[in-house]
Amino acid sequence: MHRYTWKSAVQELGLIVLAVAFLVPLYALVNVAFKPRGSQTSALELDLPPTLENLVAAWQQGALGAAIANSFIVAVLSVLGVVVLAAFASYPLARTARGWSRLTFYGFLAGLLIPSQLGLLPLYTTMRDLELLGSLWSLILINIGSQLPFSIFLYTTFLRELPLDYEEAALVDGCGPGRTFVSVVFPLLRAVTGTIVVLNSVGVWNEFFTPLLYLSGSGNTTAPVAIYNFVGQYVSQWPLVFAALVITAIPILALYFALQKHIIKGFAGGLKG
Amino acid sequence: MQLGGSVLGLDEAQRVAVPGEADRGPTRGSVRRARRPAGLRAPWWFVVPAAAMYLFVVVVPSLRGAVYSFTDWNGMSAEWDFVGIANFVEVVTDRRALAALRNTVVLAAVVTIVQNVIGLLLALALNSVFRSRFVLRVVFFAPVVLTPLVSGYIWSYLLAPRGAVNQALISLGLEGWTRDWLGDPATALYAICLSIIWQFSGYSMVIFLAGLQAIPEDVLEAATIDGAGAWRRFWNVVLPLLNGAVVINLMLSLIGGLKQFDQVMAMTGGGPGIATETISTTIYKNAFSSGEYPVSIALAVVMTMVIAILATIQYRLTLRKAD
């Protein structure tokens, strides 16, 4: 069952062929971005020599630098907010067995089933009344609020498994509850925090619907919205469009290949709770 | 994408928790409570900032949305009247809204089934002695981190009339099969499914792999000794033990499919005609034309109910299987 035989070798070869086929769209993405404009060759053929003109033009015309910077700010502040609020909230939810705590926990869990579309339009009018339309703050607030349920769920289930010994030791040493949580409990939650950071960073970075709605008409964009506008403007100039896609995709793909073990673990982490 | 882990994850987490707890002694829970010093307290107000944010962003707007679905509120005015179920009647009679409902359900069903079958097969193949399994896992997972829009644009390029897919068909001698995949109402929705499945099969695979790796070796060996072949081992031993992963995966892909917006906007924008309009694209488009506002809120309510019903069914099924 666990020996590597000729049969396994053939199966493995088949799987490698499949993996190569799986990579074709990514290869096409990069390949087309380096083709000269007006190239008539197929997506899979190399046009030699490759040209950088599309990348340069896309960077200049698409205002991609500002968009990526915005995406970065929104991602960092949203993830920071989610981690802090969710971790603090989970502590009493996990450690108190009384009725209100259970009720609050299920209240947060209900958020997992509510599609954001339901509250979308009322929330939009609230943001309008607060004059937050077009501002990155509207995105950050929405990201934090909507990602809280899952993060609280992960933190709380993990915390319930955590023995009380550390907290008792801290109490004996004279730590108050706030201090105990920040310097004793929170560091013990490292694994969950990793999962939450990975899932939320990827989710927020790729989010398209919310920034499209909330930033429309303002000068601000995030990376996905900038791509969407750019494609709308340069339809069917594929090398230029793909150059813009490559510029926004490369940072996240590079990060993925560098940290793949942690990122895959983060995505699978939801399973183990 | 976070949604799914939720309901079912709860179940899974509790199940995983049990053996660990048993190892540390059966009375751990009661001992903990008895031994607990009076000063050890998690302040209740720690939950306040999160609760306030959650109420502001999720709870209050959703409740308002639910109420407005029974009114003629146009999104702007301060005044509105209750109109009973008129908006819901319009959802099931309006051609556009009905098409959006139908497309969303078809897309969610196709994606859920195909993506999970592929994800499971990949996970089974990679949970093996293959030397390249770690590299292959990285390859199959790579599209998951891409922006869904990017995946959508790549596939609209590959599926264009003179794109790589049609060229490949021609070179295989299948000229009759070539078509304008995204321009043909009969295929556009499935072309979008293809892009989604390509992007997220690796996600399903990773969750199935985590489930497979949690299955103890000796259980499989026992089944083999008892004379179970590979097929029976899979159906009678592996699959029941994968229950948690199956449920999480089904929920993730189903909810993701029901909310689908990005790839549709990238590939067809809802067209040709209304052939690929989904609930989310309809809500987005109606948000800017106030006449349709009440109907799109009613659509969102319908969507919430569909998700809640599916989640309840799923949860019941898991509970029954676990017993």
Count CB pairs under 8 A between chains A and B: 334
Residue among B184, B261, B52 at smallest CA distance from A120: B261
Average pLDDT over residues B145-170: 90
The residue extents of the domains of chain A are 6-51, 61-238+259-272
Task: Give residue A238's pLDDT.
Answer: 83
Total tally of structural domains belonging to chain B: 1
List pLDDT tens digits, range B237-267: 888 888 888 888 888 888 889 888 999 999 9
Question: Which among B47, B241, B307 is the top mutation candidate for probing chain A, defined by the most A β-carbons within 10 Å of its own β-carbon?
Answer: B47
- DSSP state, residue A174: T
Task: Give residue B20's pLDDT.
Answer: 33
Structural domain for B219, as ranges = 5-18+92-322
Indicate which CATH number applies to the domain containing B293.
1.10.3720.10
**B39 is a domain residue:** no
Task: Give residue B8's pLDDT.
Answer: 35
In which band, very low, low, confident or very high, does the pLDDT at B4 lie, cut at 50, 70 and 90?
very low
Q: Do A267 and B144 touch (CB under 8 A)?
A: yes
- Give the distance from residue A212's alpha carbon to the nearest chain B alpha carbon, in angstroms: 10
In which band, very low, low, confident or very high, does the pLDDT at B9 lie, cut at 50, 70 and 90?
very low
At B2, which helix (H) or strand (E)? Answer: none
In which band, very low, low, confident or very high, does the pLDDT at B32 lie, cut at 50, 70 and 90?
very low
Task: Give residue B60's pLDDT.
Answer: 95
Task: Give residue B25's pLDDT.
Answer: 38
Q: Do B36 and A164 touch (CB under 8 A)?
A: yes
**B292 is a domain residue:** yes
For the question of an ipTM over 0.90, the answer is no
- On chain A, the residues whose CB falls within 8 A of the CB of B16 are 272-273
List pLDDT tens digits, range B71-110: 887 776 777 788 888 888 888 888 888 898 899 999 999 9
- On chain B, the residues whose CB falls within 8 A of the CB of A93 are 47
Residue with tokens 């929104």: A74
B61 vs B56: CA distance, rounded Å: 7
**B71 is a domain residue:** no
Q: Round the average pLDDT of chain B to a whole number and report it.
A: 81
The phi and psi torsions of B82 (rounded to 5 degrees) equal: -70, 135
Task: Give residue B323's pLDDT.
Answer: 47
In which band, very low, low, confident or very high, does the pLDDT at B320 lie, cut at 50, 70 and 90?
low
Listed range (A60-69, B28-37, B82-91, B269-278) with the worst mean pLDDT: B28-37
On the question of pLDDT at A210 being above 60, the answer is: yes
CB-nearest to A260 from B58, B138, B248 is B138
On the question of pLDDT at B22 being above 50, the answer is: no
Q: Do B255 and A115 touch (CB under 8 A)?
A: yes
- On chain B, the residues whose CB falls within 8 A of the CB of A197 are none
Give the pair of three-digit tokens for residue A170. Answer: 């801290």
**B61 is a domain residue:** no
On the question of pLDDT at B276 being above 80, the answer is: yes
Average pLDDT over residues A214-224: 87
**A94 close to B270: Cβ distance less than 8 angstroms:** no
For residue A264, the chain B residue with the least C-alpha distance is B206
List pLDDT tens digits, range A69-125: 999 999 999 999 999 999 999 999 988 877 888 899 999 988 888 888 888 888 988
Q: In the CATH hierarchy, which top-level class contains the domain A61-238+259-272?
A: mainly alpha
**B36 is a domain residue:** no
- Give the distance from residue B304's alpha carbon to the nearest chain A alpha carbon, in angstroms: 6
**B125 is a domain residue:** yes
Task: Give residue A141's pLDDT.
Answer: 95
In which band, very low, low, confident or very high, does the pLDDT at B148 lie, cut at 50, 70 and 90?
very high
Task: Give residue B310's pLDDT.
Answer: 80
Q: Do A224 and B147 touch (CB under 8 A)?
A: yes
CB B34: neighbour CB atoms within 10 A? Answer: 8
| A34-39: long-range contacts, CB 8 A cutoff, minimum separation 24 | A34/A239, A35/A239, A36/A239, A37/A237, A37/A239, A37/A240, A39/A239
On the question of pLDDT at A214 being above 50, the answer is: yes
Residue with tokens 């996990």: A94
For residue B69, the chain A residue with the least C-alpha distance is A118
Q: Do B284 and A199 touch (CB under 8 A)?
A: no
**B42 is a domain residue:** no
**B64 is a domain residue:** no
